[in-house]
A and B are shown apart, each in its own frame.
Chain A
Amino acid sequence: MEELLWLIPALPFAGALLLVLLGNRISRALVSAIGVGSVGISAAITLVLGIEYLTSRPSFIRQEVWQWFDVAGFSPSIAFHLDALSMVFIFVITFVGFLIHIYSTEYMAEDKDYARFFACMNLFVGSMLMLVMADNLLLLYLGWEGVGLCSYLLIGFWYKEPANGYAARKAFIITRVGDTAIAIGLFMLFQQFGTLHIQSISTEAVQVWTIGNETAVIIAFLLLGGAVGKSGQLPLQTWLPDAMAGPTPVSALIHAATMVTAGVYLIARMHVVFELAPAAMMAVAVIGAITLLIAGFAALTQYDIKRVLAYSTISQVGYMFLALGVGAWSAGVFHFMIHGFFKALLFLCAGAIILALHHEQDMRKMGGLSKKLPVVFYTFLIGAASLAAFPLVSAGFYSKDQILWLQLAGENGNIWLYLAGLLGAFITSIYTFRMVFLTFYGEEKTHVGHKPTWAITVPLIVLAVLSFAGGFIELPHNFGHVVLFSDFLAPILPAVSIVPDFTQYEWMLQLLAAVISLGGIFIAYLFYYKKPELIDSIHRSEFAMAVHRFWHSGWGFDQLYDALFVRPYVYLSKVNKSDFIDSFYTFLADATQGLHDLFSRSQTGIMRNYVAGIVVGAIMILTISLLL
């Protein structure tokens, strides 16, 4: 079965190619069959390979498809590498991707660019699979850029709206900043090791570098730059809320299964380098902590349901970074998986709501949907509970609790990081349930048009089950002590060493986390359901409104970057409008044009002149030959 490995990324690519070539010439049913089928077969192969992998437990499976090129000793292959880490990612990408594809068949049913949509989606999934399965960093980078390209194509899918094109360009350009950093990091890695093969780098790095080696730190920071760009972390997070311009399934795909988790994958994959660079590790954790707070506060004030979810994604990826930053690799990846489930669920629910309300995204105009859309309501509730880390029954509780606990108990932990995470959890549960109360409770404000059918409800139910049950494969030490997930990842990602003094407090911290989560839900209940007048009292305060506006704009980062980069750049381009370096070439062009005009005037169309020209030429040639 191992030889089927290459099919996992190849099938979505093939689907994309087929859809690009056939386009709108084939029926929608066939487009759906190709688009959904290719990812579905990939998922099935993943399942088969996963079962085989779990039973036989090799350290990894490698399959070389062909050698890419061979230049001066640099010979990367198109080769796929399957180990526990990539297994988790492939699993999430193919399965969640498959569910999103099924969902899209209904969500996009009315769109005239149906085939283009599925072609891009397939390409997206294929690129992401290549990214996580790559055996060397160059192939990873190819997938990385492929993901960037597809995000551009899909965010700007409805390109006739200029704002969507703007959002797409913004996403592309901002992630490009990170991509440049990662490219430089790859150059430096190649210069150090003469290869980009991930396994070789991992084994050699430990021998070549000591902890804190300057080069290792620089490379780690450069890789972090790339990860930050793709994962929408501070300071490159501004593209992500705008990425909501795309169709909702795209948002689900970007936020749950692909794209934003690429940064998490990169850091987890290159954890050897990061472990050798404690400064970079610290930076990862700090960036994660700050981002999760900033994004959380911003999410509190959004009215667009998709923007709330976008900020919550930034915030949750911040948690993953927090975990990675303290060396809790498996906790970070675990949270990635759980987040993939519940965030896809929440986005798909939001999409169902938006579709039902005739593309209304403003939560102030929603309400009372719990009766109208019961399936969406209950699944959304499960997703929200998971996001808010509702104690004991939600998967999000276990993954988030593990991260929080390791902030204190891990040897790289830090009380401030813990407190930031705790505050973040509190905010998370507030904005999550604010969303629930605003959307599903209260009086109905917009008429429900489109009732979701099976293509929407089935993915929702499956994801809801996963969001609910996914947490039980990894339970805390003092509570069941199930460590299936971290055991699975143990050969790849080293476990975090725990400071023993803290073990006795674990249940206390869990209780604290539970109380925080419930408290957040209660506050949301109080403000948005029980006593809405409290909101009005806040709105009356001048200061609170200023803060509200500040948070609503995402902490003013867009304005800041506009002032810092965009406007000076635009100013400079205006100053140098007629590029002075180009003037030489413009001169060349003008001179050629002038000569052309001059000589074209000699073509008078009068035959006598041509004859005279011939005579003059003959005289000249004769004279020259006589003189010489």
Chain B
Amino acid sequence: MELTFYIAAAVAVLATIMVITRYNMIHALLYLVVSFLAVAVVFLTMGAPFMAALEVIVYAGAIVVLIIFVIMMLSLTREDVEQEKAWLQPKLWMGPALLSFVLLAELVYLLVIAEMPAAPAVAGSYVDARAVGLALYGPYVLGVQLSGILLMAGIVGAYHLGRQKKKVIHRFLQEKEPQKERSAAI
């Protein structure tokens, strides 16, 4: 089991690195699916099989498919890949990468110095879907309702923003030119 975890973790990290270095969006998304699947395996090794299933269905399934649909709608071409390549210059990504590494180093340092409390003496850390479901509709029922409202807002928002009427320009983007002038004046 331990070995499975390490292999899955390594796959996840590698796949994620591939995601962030791809120029082609579809390639990146495929690696992203790999990454999500690897994380699902990690969940399995952590004793959370239900979460592993959700990870595969929602992340690797729904979300990635959604993104792919959008990419298909945008009908990207080879020039976009070239464009992506031009944008990803080393001098551009060195700084942010360094910053992130500093942050990571600090996180690791915190992990090392922190005195991890010993795990409770429970037989196995396996938490099945039943326990999750009981907790979800027990103490966390309010959170579930809030999640429902959030999803509702997401649907309405996505519908409203996604409409593409010819004449109606969203108010955020109206009067492009005067705004440009004004910002230039400032």
Q: Which residues of A contact B (CB under 8 A)?
A: 600, 605, 608, 612, 615-616, 618-619, 622-623, 626
**CB atoms of B103 and A612 under 8 A apart:** no
Residues of B within 8 A of A608 (CB): 96
Q: A170–B30 Cα gap in the complex (Å)?
A: 86
Residues of B within 8 A of A626 (CB): 106, 109-110
Q: A622–B99 Cα gap in the complex (Å)?
A: 13
In the complex, the chain A residue whose C-beta lies closest to that of B99 is: A615
**CB atoms of B99 and A619 under 8 A apart:** yes
Instruction: List 16 additional contacts besides A600-B186, A615-B96, A616-B99; criterion CB under 8 Å.
Output: A605-B183, A608-B96, A612-B95, A612-B96, A612-B99, A615-B100, A615-B103, A619-B99, A619-B102, A619-B103, A619-B106, A622-B103, A623-B106, A626-B106, A626-B109, A626-B110
Complex interface bits, B174-186 against A, C-beta within 8 A gives 1, otherwise 0: 0000000001001
In the complex, the chain A residue whose C-beta lies closest to that of B113 is: A626
Please provide the 7 A-B residue pairs with the shortest distance between their CB atoms, ordered closest to farther.
A622-B106, A615-B99, A619-B103, A619-B102, A612-B96, A615-B103, A618-B103
Residue in A600, A619, A623 whose Cβ sees the most chain B Cβ within 10 Å: A619
Residues of A within 8 A of B186 (CB): 600
For residue B178, give the distance in angstroms from its CB to the closest CB of chain A: 16
23 A–B contacts, CB within 8 A, in A order: A600-B186, A605-B183, A608-B96, A612-B95, A612-B96, A612-B99, A615-B96, A615-B99, A615-B100, A615-B103, A616-B99, A618-B103, A619-B99, A619-B102, A619-B103, A619-B106, A622-B103, A622-B106, A622-B110, A623-B106, A626-B106, A626-B109, A626-B110
Residues of B within 8 A of A615 (CB): 96, 99-100, 103
For residue B108, give the distance in angstroms from its CB to the closest CB of chain A: 12
Q: A354–B73 Cα gap in the complex (Å)?
A: 85
For residue B74, give the distance in angstroms from its CB to the closest CB of chain A: 19
Q: A626–B95 Cα gap in the complex (Å)?
A: 23
Query: At the interface, is chain A mostly helix, strand, loop or mixed?
Result: helix
Residues of A within 8 A of B183 (CB): 605
For residue B50, give the distance in angstroms from its CB to the closest CB of chain A: 32
B 145-182 contacts with A by CB, 8 A: none
Residues of B within 8 A of A612 (CB): 95-96, 99
Q: A612–B96 Cα gap in the complex (Å)?
A: 7
Q: A622–B102 Cα gap in the complex (Å)?
A: 10
Residues of A within 8 A of B102 (CB): 619
Residue in B100, B102, B109, B110 whose Cβ sees the most chain A Cβ within 10 Å: B102
Residues of B within 8 A of A619 (CB): 99, 102-103, 106
Residues of A within 8 A of B96 (CB): 608, 612, 615
For residue B86, give the distance in angstroms from its CB to the closest CB of chain A: 16
B 9-49 contacts with A by CB, 8 A: none
Residues of A within 8 A of B95 (CB): 612
Residues of A within 8 A of B103 (CB): 615, 618-619, 622
Residue in B95, B106, B110, B183 whose Cβ sees the most chain A Cβ within 10 Å: B106
For residue A621, give the distance in angstroms from its CB to the closest CB of chain B: 10
Residues of B within 8 A of A622 (CB): 103, 106, 110
Residue in A600, A612, A622 whose Cβ sees the most chain B Cβ within 10 Å: A622
In the complex, the chain A residue whose C-beta lies closest to that of B96 is: A612
For residue A189, give the distance in angstroms from its CB to the closest CB of chain B: 59
Q: A619–B102 Cα gap in the complex (Å)?
A: 7
Q: A618–B106 Cα gap in the complex (Å)?
A: 10
B 93-125 contacts with A by CB, 8 A: 95-96, 99-100, 102-103, 106, 109-110
For residue B115, give the distance in angstroms from its CB to the closest CB of chain A: 15
Q: A626–B102 Cα gap in the complex (Å)?
A: 13
For residue B172, give the distance in angstroms from its CB to the closest CB of chain A: 13
Residues of A within 8 A of B106 (CB): 619, 622-623, 626
Residues of A within 8 A of B100 (CB): 615
Residues of A within 8 A of B110 (CB): 622, 626
Residues of B within 8 A of A600 (CB): 186
For residue B110, give the distance in angstroms from its CB to the closest CB of chain A: 8
Q: A623–B103 Cα gap in the complex (Å)?
A: 9
In the complex, the chain A residue whose C-beta lies closest to that of B106 is: A622
For residue A228, give the distance in angstroms from its CB to the closest CB of chain B: 56
B 60-110 contacts with A by CB, 8 A: 95-96, 99-100, 102-103, 106, 109-110
Q: A600–B106 Cα gap in the complex (Å)?
A: 31
Q: A251–B110 Cα gap in the complex (Å)?
A: 89
Q: A364–B99 Cα gap in the complex (Å)?
A: 93
Q: A616–B106 Cα gap in the complex (Å)?
A: 12
Q: A221–B24 Cα gap in the complex (Å)?
A: 96
For residue B103, give the distance in angstroms from its CB to the closest CB of chain A: 6
